[in-house]
Amino acid sequence: MRIREDYAGYGKRATNVSVNQGLLEDARALDINLSATLEKALEAEVRARKRDKWLVQNRDAIEAYNRRVERDGMLSDHVRTFLSKAGG
């Protein structure tokens, strides 16, 4: 999933946030673009939480798939003869 693509059609909206005063002063002194920095950090957090949520929602299916692969192998196992030849 591409977060930037998901939100590409949206405009910007002003919002208020509270930030540690010392941190804010240092950021301004270093010419850090607060909006761009927050957006990048928020994008990473949203991506991580969506991933975690997806993993929880799909845990049973993932576990069932892994059990099946352990029991039956992969459909392509017969094609992957190069792996056994490369090692020995």
Q: What is the token pair recorded at 44?
A: 């990473």
Return the pLDDT at 23: 97
Assess whether pLDDT exceeds 60 at residue 68.
yes
- The lowest-confidence range among 8-17, 20-29, 71-80 is 71-80
CB neighbours (10 Å) of residue 43? 14
Q: What is the DSSP string of 28-73?
A: HHTT--HHHHHHHHHHHHHHHHHHHHHHHHTHHHHHHHHHHHHHH-
Q: 51, 19, 50, 46: which is closest to 35 by C-alpha?
A: 19
Question: Between vectors from CA 31 to CA 5 and to CA 14, what angle results, nearest 5°?
Answer: 50
pLDDT in tens, 17-59: 999 999 999 999 999 999 999 999 999 999 999 999 999 999 9
Provide the residue ranges of all domains of the chain, joining segments of one domain with +: 3-86
Contact status, residue 46 vs residue 3, Cβ threshold 8 Å: yes
Return the pLDDT at 2: 65
Above pLDDT 70, what percent of the chain?
84
